Amino acid sequence: MNAIVSICHFCELHGPRVVFCTQAFRDLPDFDALTGVEAPPVIGSRLGHHEGQPEESDLWKYGRNLKDNPAEMKNGTPNETCVACRSFPHTQPGFISNDDSAKVSYVTSQYPLQSELYSLVHLACIRSLSCEVCPGKEGPIYFGDEARGHVLSYTFFLQDVQARGFQRWYSIMVLMKDKMLLLNSWPFIVRHLKQTISHLQESASKIYESEESKVSHRALRSAIMNDNYRRQRVAGQPRSLSELVGDEQVWSGLHSSFTWLLKAGGLRLQERLVEGPPVTQLIMDGSESSGTNLNVRELYSKIGPYTFNRLTHHLLIGRQIIVRGSSANAVSTVVQSLQPLIPKHCFKAINFSPHYIDSASCNILGLHSLVKVPLSVLATGNICVLELFAKESTGESGTQSNIPRVSTISNHSLSAQEEIHRIKSSLQEKEMKNADFSELLKSYNIQISQEGTLPAKPPQLLNRIETALSNTTLTPATLMVYLSTILYEWINKVKVWMQVQNANKTIPPEQRYPVSSQSTITRTPSIPILRSPVHQPFLSRSPVLSGSLTAGILEAPTNSQDNSRHQLLSALGATEWDVPLLEFWAQKFHPNSV
Amino acid sequence: MTSYTQEDDEHYRGEFGAGYEVGSFPKDFVYGPDDPDQDLTQIFAPDQKPKILLMGLRRSGKSSIQKVVFHKMTPNETLFLESTNKIESENISNSSFVQFKILDFPGQIDFFEPSFDSEKIFGGHGTLVFVIDAQDDYMEALTRLHQTVLRAHKVNPHLRFEVFIHKVDGLSDDTKIETQRDIHQRVNDELSDAGMEQIHLSFYLTSIYDHSIFEAFSKVVQKLIPQLPTLENLLNIFISNSGIEKAFLFDVLSKIYIATDSSPVDMQSYELCCEMIDVVIDISDIYGKADGMQVPFDKDSSSIIKLNNATVLYLREVSRYLALVCILREDNFDRQGLIDYNFLCFRNGIQEVFDVHTSQLQQLTHSTSPHLQTNGPTS
Ligand SMILES: Nc1nc2c(ncn2[C@@H]2O[C@H](COP(=O)(O)OP(=O)(O)OP(=O)(O)O)[C@@H](O)[C@H]2O)c(=O)[nH]1
Ligand SMILES: [Mg+2]
């Protein structure tokens, strides 16, 4: 995970201060492979090696090509500190852990080691503790923007008898360049931080209680105050975090915790640029067929929620919809009215055809009621036949009702071709008004006569379409905007779905994810480093936050296929029931994309 | 996937500028709902309310001042106040005249840094109160004061500056005087060195352990009341015609006085009046009927206290949470009817000030001369 995890403290003497922060460093090639950017000639990640500090160079194995000029660094960082706002007595690495399998070094220091990152973190620290806070409230919040980075900040208090208000403000911040990644990792990060924090709080409370039990600091403070003789400062003396929680090892514990977070966070989700077909072509644009678009609501009220539900379910998961009826006009209008329900690239309709056409060529087909659907097609179960019965005959019994229809149809079928032509042009020329459409539908009864079996549950999208259609307070224009918005949303999911599926095909699984579960993370023990104050100017580069802006998130599948699919679905906000939809839409993408 | 648009970012960016204003301390002392009988005239549109910025080094006592004056916190409780970590903003609208916004700053943060919107913080009509801890070495505070004044003046040349030399309760009288002189001297020297003599600073010796903080705050608030000269004039006419020695117009909730007649104020009589308000409120609290009002003070509130040095304290309600407290000699109180009549005139006068303000600000000066019946020479 390309992030900086840091601890900030509102010091009673110095205000908001960055106390501790952990970063991940990688060697350049790896880093560039990740972002897909052409790697510049490797200037040698070890360029910075100098005989002066052999120990540290050995300890810090990866991505050590960046190094700020120490003099330059000094300018940015505050020169005045006290024990409360300090974790290490210097601005050099305090802890380093190397992950040899992933070639990453996790480095912890008081301030970020690159001055441009320092100012970002410092700014975020002020916001985290002195701007974006609710008084007296603990908990995670988000703030940020592209320029200053996106921040998850978790505010908490630690009890302390010496603090002016008997508690001190701290926050843990996760700062990233990628907002989507941050927000998508939110539950994971928050869960982990909460654990770390409650651990700190418990320890601090224990210390607090034991100190209070010796003497009440409240009473003590009042007593000293009332004693008018040279009043002394009883509160507000700075104390370090390790003193607050009574644990000398607290810093190395936090280093491990943050390293784990960065490592595990990176395994869960990775940022990658997702390229899909441009979205603009994917939804019918309103101008072309605005008149007919509106008819979907008429259709909905005509056929009723139940039939509509099944019809649309078939449609969304890629079954062929066959609309049969005696009037070419009515049939083709119904066919066209389905258009707003699916993306343009999935809408292959034939308004009225004299013979059956297979599902490869069209997924919505208008047929004359005399035309037979081949039995072989019916047998596949991949269709749904919607029948338009003329009204006059419906009152009578089923067998009789067929007779008048047959006669009408035979008349028309002679001129079917002409009819089709006429309708096509009329549809293009004049837009059909809602009223006309409902008028037209009035003379028919519409039913599903044959259909394949449906999955037990429809895709989520169907539910939303229905809710929208049944909401009569929406104006037609709003409804259209809404429908296309939810389609866009799912098109985006389909893109991600495709991308991952393709990736799975091309890369053998073992290579992709060398470490797959949290327990197998390899971590070299953290080693505190005592640094000599000698520095050499090194090449400066910040790999950690210079990552490209990503358009989407990819879920990294783990070894088990099922598990990965599950993870992907949950990352998409989709369920098992959406898979037929995803696959159908994805399959239709292919001609345009990749 | 839910889409996050650029607008979200816009939104957050917008929030940052205003971030320092979000929320404030939970108010343990909430002012009651507006009394429908008592017309609370708004002197300022909500956004033009003057502000009082409390600044100064950490631990200088800013939050304590705000809590003691406006939240009835006892001085000892301030020992347990947390260090302020963000600008705490609070609206004060006790009465028609006492309306402003108080901003309590954290002492540690430099708000002139470019990441803060200094226009927004220091702009507008208001006063910057700089608090100096007199019990501590104040050299650092003076440096900060100097910087703050120069920079704030640059951002907003109309900002007033007041300096509280605070926590003087620990100092002997001589030290107090010496400290004030020293600070005054140094600050003005530095300002003239910087070529900024035109900036005027007022100095006050304050402490939350006595009434000095209320006194000083009264003066600060008075300067924010545009009608102050009229009110003073009214009070002058009133006392000279009623044989009263001293009269204060009090904000009952905070015990700051928003106007007094032009005779000099001595600390003792001010304290006396403060105590009287406490007595009245306490007694009404215990014996008055509980009608949900936060502070039991209404139209009929009045009180007479006779002291054994032939002095009388007389308190009358003027308007919502506004009280007139007078100090007079017992002999002059024989004519209470006259005083009451004059008081009614005075009250009408105040009402006219409101009315005039509501109709038109310009006419303020003409229409507020009430007709008081002259009190004959007293024997
Ligand atoms: N002796 C004395 N102590 C005071 C007085 N006013 C405040 N204090 C004490 O000063 C200490 C700090 O007061 P705060 O009001 O919290 O200080 P602050 O200026 O708000 O500090 P920050 O919020 O950190 O900027 C508290 O312990 C108060 O009890 C005073 O008039 N006299
Ligand atoms: Mg404070």
Q: Do B163 and B238 sit in the same domain of this protein?
A: no
Is A263 or A230 the better-scoring residue by pLDDT? A263
- Are B79 and A127 a contacting pair at CB < 8 A? no
Rounded (10°) angle between helices A295-316 and A328-337: 70
Cα B133 to ligand 1 centre (Å): 8
CA dihedral A508, A510, A511, A514 (to 10 degrees): 160
Provide the CB-side half-sphere exposure for A279 (13 A, CA).
15
Domains held by chain B: number: 2
| B60 part of a folded domain | yes
| B4 part of a folded domain | no
Contact status of A123 with chain B (Cβ, < 8 Å) = yes
| Alpha-helix runs per DSSP H in A215-233 | 217-226
Angle, CA of A259, A260 and A264, to the nearest 5°: 120
Give yes or no for residue B58 CB within 6 A of ligand 1.
Answer: yes
| B1 part of a folded domain | no
Closest Cβ opposite residue B76 in set A145, A222, A572: A222
Q: Do B74 and B113 sit in the same domain of this protein?
A: yes
Contact B239, B247 (CB under 8 A): yes
Q: Do B78 and B196 sit in the same domain of this protein?
A: yes
pLDDT truncated to tens, each residue of chain B (379 aa)?
A: 444 434 444 443 333 333 333 333 333 333 333 333 333 444 444 457 889 999 999 999 999 999 999 998 999 889 889 899 889 889 888 776 778 899 999 998 888 888 888 888 898 889 999 999 998 889 999 999 999 999 999 999 999 999 999 999 988 899 999 999 999 999 999 999 999 889 999 999 999 999 999 999 999 999 988 889 999 999 999 999 998 999 999 998 889 999 999 999 988 999 999 999 989 888 888 887 766 666 677 777 788 999 888 899 999 988 878 899 999 999 888 888 999 999 999 999 988 887 776 665 444 334 444 444 444 443 3
Provide the 10 A C-beta neighbour count for residue A562. 9
Q: Give the total residue count for chain B.
A: 379
Q: Which of B196, B222, B248 is the last residue of a domain?
A: B222
Give yes or no for residue B14 CB within 6 A of ligand 1.
Answer: no
Mean pLDDT, to the nearest integer, of A411-424? 49
How many angstroms separate the CA atoms of A328 and A284, rounded?
23
How many angstroms separate the CA atoms of A572 and A517, rounded?
21
Cα B223 to ligand 1 centre (Å): 25
Rounded (10°) angle between helices A476-506 and A579-589: 80
Domain region containing B127: 23-33+44-222
Identify the pLDDT of residue B374.
43
Spell out the residues 6+ positions from residue A12 whose beta carbon is closer than 8 angstroms to its own. Answer: A84, A163, A164, A168, A236, A238, B58, B59, B83, B108
How many angstroms separate the CA atoms of A141 and B15, rounded?
13
Query: Beta strands A349-353 and B88-93: pairing type?
Result: unpaired
In this structure, of A52-66, A165-179, A308-322, A423-437, the range with the lowest mean pLDDT score is: A423-437
How many angstroms separate the CA atoms of B320 and B294, rounded?
12
Distance from CA of A410 to the nearest CA of B (A): 51
- Are A11 and B108 a contacting pair at CB < 8 A? yes
Sign of the C-alpha dihedral computed for residues A40, A44, A46 and A52 taken in this order: negative
What is the rounded end-to-end Cα distance, in angstroms, of chain A? Answer: 27
Query: Beta strands B160-166 and B126-133: pairing type?
Result: parallel
Instruction: Report helix, strand or coil for A421.
Output: helix
Give yes or no for residue B167 CB within 6 A of ligand 1.
Answer: yes
Please report, for residues A140, A565, B244, B272, B355, the alpha-carbon distance to residue B300 in angstroms, rounded to integers and kept in the order given.
Answer: 51, 77, 21, 21, 22
Contact status of B375 with chain A (Cβ, < 8 Å) = no
Closest Cβ opposite residue B83 in set A126, A164, A553: A164
Give yes or no for residue B311 CB within 6 A of ligand 1.
Answer: no
Complex ipTM, two decimals? 0.77
Q: Do B305 and B186 sit in the same domain of this protein?
A: no
Residue A319 CB-density burial (10 A; 0-12 exposed, 13-18 middle, 19+ buried) = buried
Closest Cβ opposite residue A221 in set B9, B79, B85: B79
DSSP classification of residue A432: P
Cα B323 to ligand 1 centre (Å): 30
Q: Do B194 and B153 sit in the same domain of this protein?
A: yes
Residue A93 CB-density burial (10 A; 0-12 exposed, 13-18 middle, 19+ buried) = buried
Sign of the C-alpha dihedral computed for residues B29, B30, B31 and B36 taken in this order: negative
Contact status of B108 with chain A (Cβ, < 8 Å) = yes
The nearest alpha carbon in chain A to B18 belongs to A131
Selected residue of B1, B2, B111 to mutate for chain A interface (largest A Cβ count, 10 A) = B1
How sure is the predictor about A576, in pLDDT bands with cuts at 50, 70 and 90? confident
Q: Do B119 and B98 sit in the same domain of this protein?
A: yes
Q: Do B232 and B216 sit in the same domain of this protein?
A: no
DSSP classification of residue A373: P
The nearest alpha carbon in chain A to B20 belongs to A131
Sign of the C-alpha dihedral computed for residues A224, A230, A236 and A237 taken in this order: negative
| B2 part of a folded domain | no
Q: Do B239 and B187 sit in the same domain of this protein?
A: no
How many angstroms separate the CA atoms of A308 and A471, rounded?
15
Q: Do B84 and B109 sit in the same domain of this protein?
A: yes
| B209 part of a folded domain | yes
**Two tokens at A175?**
């700062």
Domain at B70, CATH number: 3.40.50.300
Q: Do B63 and B156 sit in the same domain of this protein?
A: yes
Query: How many secondary structure helices (H) and strands (E) does chain A include?
Result: 20, 15
Closest Cβ opposite residue A130 in set B9, B12, B85: B85
DSSP letters spanning A234-272: -S-----HHHHHT-TTHHHHHHHHHHHHHHHHHHHEEEE
| B13 part of a folded domain | no
| B233 part of a folded domain | yes
DSSP letters spanning A161-192: TTSTTSEEEEEEEEEES-HHHHHHHHHHHHHH
Contact B98, B189 (CB under 8 A): no
Contact A317, A452 (CB under 8 A): no
- Are B82 and A144 a contacting pair at CB < 8 A? no
Spell out the residues 6+ positions from residue A236 whose beta carbon is closer than 8 angstroms to its own. Answer: A12, A13, A162, A163, A164, B59, B83
Instruction: Report helix, strand or coil for A108.
Output: strand
- Are B108 and A13 a contacting pair at CB < 8 A? yes
Cα B167 to ligand 1 centre (Å): 8
- Identify all chain A residues contacting B59, using CB atoms and an 8 Å cutoff: 12, 164, 236
pTM for the model: 0.64
- Are B12 and A145 a contacting pair at CB < 8 A? yes
| B50 part of a folded domain | yes
